[in-house]
Chain A
Amino acid sequence: MADTILMAHGSGGKLAHRLVEDLIMPAISGTDPARLDDSAIIELRGRMAFTTDSYVIDPIFFPGGDIGKLAVCGTTNDLSMSGARPLYMSLSFIIEEGLPVSDLKRILESIHSAADEAGVRIVTGDTKVVDHGNADKLYVNTAGIGTIPTGVDISGANIRPGDKVILSGTIGDHGIAIMSKREGLQFGTNLLSDCAPLNKLVEDMIGASDNIHALRDPTRGGLATTLNELCLQSGTKVVVEEKKIPIRDEVAAACEMLGLDPMYVANEGKLVAFVTPSDAGKVLSAMRLNKYGTDSAIIGEVEEPDEAPSVVMKTLLGTSRLIDILVGDLLPRIC
């Protein structure tokens, strides 16, 4: 096998076959029935959730994960947030000519282990190679299918005044881990991305209560943007308390240094749940027993809207302010 990916690896010829057979299939064989037909045949019954996503993260390796793990977790989590049990995934690579084969191998290994952990099977895929400069190292596209258990109805539209808002852990870990890697910043400790599959956590939550109204993973745009989307979808007012939102010291410090508001910084292994108040305790306890929910906390509740739907934060000083959707990109300060 060559040391780097060449155009010929995407040509459909011999090199392309060897890439799939020698590198890709072994790495994901544990999750794949290993049939090389043109499409995967799968059996499904009942209500289904179907999602797609593309991953273009730079850098492709970051503290706590890589683009492959991110793709599996991101797809799994999108399905989980509808209450679905993720079952099958597709995986397509667009590779820039010149990518070291060893990098691809590492990424495939992490895809393998993330899929194993999530219990999701990668049943179909594709590989294309583009000229140097026409892509940035590696892009990954996925689709995912899951089944929704009978009786589960989870949607932002179900949120009601009185619901408690539960967050599964600290905010901002992923975004700050990426930024520190990208900019070569050091914050005294090795901060890792929180990138993780959350389907088992969601199963535990659904096992604990039939009254989970909505679930969402606050990825791009952070918690602030997710809460805004949900308040708009449900026509409610969401009130959260700053002091109850878990945040690591190093993330708070990094945000301060870069001039960022952690409410807008991305997460890849967190979820926010809206739950009937009487069940909030049960759900919280179940979450804290899962390794991806040990720092879970009730951070606020839903109220009747004032004039329009809104998200309001009670600050540490006891004052309150609006939390709006992120506009544009998060950028570090320049002065």
Chain B
Amino acid sequence: MKYASEFRQGKLAGGVVASISRASRRPVTFMEFCGSHTVAIFRYGIRQVLPKTVTTVSGPGCPICVTANSDLDKAIALALIPGVILASFGDVLRVPGSKTSLQSVRAEGADIRVVYSAMDAVRIAQQNPDQRVVLLGIGFETTAPTIAAAILQAEEMGLRNFTVLSWHKLCPPAIKALLDAGDVALDGLICPGHVSAITGAAAWEFIAQDYGIPCVVSGFEPLDILHCIDMLVAQAENGQAKVEIAYRRGVQQNGNVTAQHLMETVFESCDADWRGMGTIPHSGLRLREDYARFDADREFTIVPGPTREPQGCICGDVLRAVKTPVDCPLFGKSCTPETPVGACMVSSEGSCFTYYLYGGKNG
């Protein structure tokens, strides 16, 4: 199996960088929405090779980072109910809620299990018929179809003890909210590759049409990202705004129709709370009425205490690209990956974590 090395060739990259430098005249700011792109940009030092005219800023594309404290508190309260097994993807455990984290309540005895796929949680439910298994459904359009598939599987198996706490979020409404807020002026959008593999590149048409912002879907190898930036520069210099794909091996115009169908079968859109951005209309997914018995929100009544945001943490501003992690007074001081204050320092694709990992405590 081979598909990474072709897209990591230094010589070819040099050619693309030269092309970007030749074409770029006016200063432009591009946002990479996706946390995986942020990681790749830092890992390969892409910002260092771009001409001074091209700036990239990191967006809110990390599902763990954007999870609101109120949701975390709810999950923690759920985990403390006797007879409940909470199944979660790993990173979430370390994110501090208002008072404590899932990791801490697990150490105190709550039954919280780390799973690597939604199907693992279904298996846990099958093996523990006397307990109620709640899966934290977290992620963007990429994860939602797999959770939908797990719910359908649980239905087929007749499981009565499996529910999902759906925190799923949708990317296009979040980008719209970000642009509507007008905090950050963008000349182009590096569109998320994995999300687009599901939604299709068509999901970004409204950004090009309504906001006049060039959009290019990118893969995650250095050549993918440079190629994407080259295409964005070309559009910006030519005064164009259209949706293009620099990741043809992964993304089609209309995306993965099967996955979309799975999502639509089980979920419907709802308003959702985003850390740092507040409530964004139609930016979340909840279970449809037909699947109500798999919905942890309907199956459990939880009233968590008042939410509290960590003092001094600017995760919200970082997620909106208004500030960068190094602007935060806590960054690298009281907030480090070992002792995270905010969610962006916990997730392996969070901006603060990435800045810290690849840039050290000075970013």
Q: Are A and B bound to each other?
A: yes
Q: Report which A residues bind B (CB closer than 8 A).
A: 182-183, 187-189, 243, 249-250, 252-253, 256, 259, 261, 310, 315-322, 324, 327-329, 331-335
A253 touches B89 (CB 8 A): no
A321-B89 in contact given A189-B1, A333-B349, A335-B140 (Cβ < 8 Å)? no
B143 touches A317 (CB 8 A): no
A329-B357 in contact given A315-B43, A319-B48, A334-B138 (Cβ < 8 Å)? no
Complex alpha-carbon distance, A316 and B40, angstroms: 12
Complex alpha-carbon distance, A320 and B42, angstroms: 10
Q: A182-B116, A187-B1, A310-B360 are in contact. List 8 more A-B contacts (CB 8 A).
A: A249-B5, A253-B1, A315-B43, A316-B10, A317-B49, A320-B48, A335-B61, A335-B143
CB of B206 to closest CB in A, whole Å: 21
Please, which residues of chain A bring their CB within 8 A of the CB of B94?
328
B1 touches A250 (CB 8 A): yes
Please, which residues of chain A bring their CB within 8 A of the CB of B43?
261, 315, 321
Q: Report which B residues bind A (CB closer than 8 A).
A: 1-5, 8-10, 13-14, 17, 34-36, 39, 42-46, 48-49, 61-64, 89-91, 94, 116-117, 138-140, 142-143, 194-195, 220-222, 336-338, 348-349, 356-360
A324 touches B356 (CB 8 A): yes
Please, which residues of chain A bring their CB within 8 A of the CB of B49?
317-319
B358 touches A243 (CB 8 A): no
Instruction: Indicate which residue in B1, B45, B337 contacts A328 across the interface (CB closer than 8 Å).
Output: B337
Return 16 A-B CB contacts under 8 Å, by A number.
Answer: A252-B4, A253-B1, A253-B2, A316-B13, A316-B222, A317-B222, A318-B14, A319-B46, A320-B45, A321-B42, A321-B43, A324-B357, A324-B360, A335-B34, A335-B35, A335-B349
Complex alpha-carbon distance, A88 and B338, angstroms: 38
Please, which residues of chain B bring their CB within 8 A of the CB of A335?
34-36, 61-63, 139-140, 142-143, 194-195, 349
CB of B150 to closest CB in A, whole Å: 14
B139 touches A334 (CB 8 A): yes
Please, which residues of chain B bring their CB within 8 A of the CB of A317?
10, 13-14, 17, 44-46, 48-49, 222
Complex alpha-carbon distance, A315 and B223, angstroms: 13
Please, which residues of chain A bring their CB within 8 A of the CB of B357?
324, 327
Complex alpha-carbon distance, A335 and B195, angstroms: 8
B359 touches A321 (CB 8 A): yes
Please, which residues of chain A bring their CB within 8 A of the CB of B63?
334-335
Complex alpha-carbon distance, A185 and B35, angstroms: 23
A327-B358 in contact given A334-B139, A334-B143 (Cβ < 8 Å)? no
B4 touches A256 (CB 8 A): yes
B44 touches A316 (CB 8 A): yes
Output the nearest chain B residue to A182 by Cβ-Cβ distance. Answer: B116
A321-B13 in contact given A187-B1, A189-B1, A329-B90 (Cβ < 8 Å)? no
Complex alpha-carbon distance, A318 and B305, angstroms: 51
Complex alpha-carbon distance, A329 and B94, angstroms: 11
Output the nearest chain A residue to B171 by Cβ-Cβ distance. Answer: A335
Output the nearest chain B residue to A260 by Cβ-Cβ distance. Answer: B348
Which among B4, B39, B48, B94 has the highest number of chain A CB atoms within 10 Å?
B4
Chain A: interface secondary structure? loop
B116 touches A332 (CB 8 A): yes
Please, which residues of chain B bring their CB within 8 A of the CB of A250?
1
B337 touches A327 (CB 8 A): yes
Output the nearest chain A residue to B114 by Cβ-Cβ distance. Answer: A331
CB of B173 to closest CB in A, whole Å: 16
B89 touches A249 (CB 8 A): no
Please, which residues of chain A bring their CB within 8 A of the CB of B9?
316
A321-B45 in contact given A332-B116, A335-B194 (Cβ < 8 Å)? yes
Which among A188, A243, A259 has the highest number of chain B CB atoms within 10 Å?
A259
Please, which residues of chain B bring their CB within 8 A of the CB of A183?
116-117
A259 touches B349 (CB 8 A): yes
B45 touches A319 (CB 8 A): yes
Which among B45, B139, B337 has the highest number of chain A CB atoms within 10 Å?
B45
Please, which residues of chain A bring their CB within 8 A of the CB of B64?
334
B1 touches A331 (CB 8 A): no
Output the nearest chain A residue to B9 by Cβ-Cβ distance. Answer: A316
Please, which residues of chain A bring their CB within 8 A of the CB of B34?
335
Please, which residues of chain A bring their CB within 8 A of the CB of B338?
327-328
Complex alpha-carbon distance, A334 and B137, angstroms: 10
Complex alpha-carbon distance, A331 and B63, angstroms: 14
A188 touches B1 (CB 8 A): yes
The 3 closest A-B pairs by CB, nearest first: A319-B45, A188-B1, A327-B337
Complex alpha-carbon distance, A314 and B49, angstroms: 13
Which among A182, A183, A322, A328 has the highest number of chain B CB atoms within 10 Å?
A328
CB of B16 to closest CB in A, whole Å: 10
A315 touches B45 (CB 8 A): yes
Output the nearest chain B residue to A320 by Cβ-Cβ distance. Answer: B45
Instruction: Indicate which residue in A321, A331, A333 contacts B358 across the interface (CB closer than 8 Å).
Output: A321
A253 touches B3 (CB 8 A): yes
Please, which residues of chain A bring their CB within 8 A of the CB of B3?
253, 256
Please, which residues of chain B bring their CB within 8 A of the CB of A316?
8-10, 13, 44, 222
Please, which residues of chain A bring their CB within 8 A of the CB of B349?
259, 333, 335
Complex alpha-carbon distance, A328 and B345, angstroms: 12
Please, which residues of chain B bring their CB within 8 A of the CB of A324?
356-358, 360
CB of A255 to closest CB in B, whole Å: 8
Complex alpha-carbon distance, A334 and B5, angstroms: 23
Complex alpha-carbon distance, A278 and B337, angstroms: 40
Please, which residues of chain B bring their CB within 8 A of the CB of A331?
89-91, 348
CB of B121 to closest CB in A, whole Å: 13
Please, which residues of chain B bring their CB within 8 A of the CB of A187?
1
Complex alpha-carbon distance, A232 and B39, angstroms: 25
Please, which residues of chain B bring their CB within 8 A of the CB of A243?
10
CB of B203 to closest CB in A, whole Å: 15
CB of A257 to closest CB in B, whole Å: 9
Complex alpha-carbon distance, A190 and B319, angstroms: 40
Output the nearest chain B residue to A254 by Cβ-Cβ distance. Answer: B1
Please, which residues of chain A bring their CB within 8 A of the CB of B221?
256
Complex alpha-carbon distance, A335 and B44, angstroms: 21
Complex alpha-carbon distance, A94 and B358, angstroms: 40
CB of B58 to closest CB in A, whole Å: 15
B116 touches A315 (CB 8 A): no
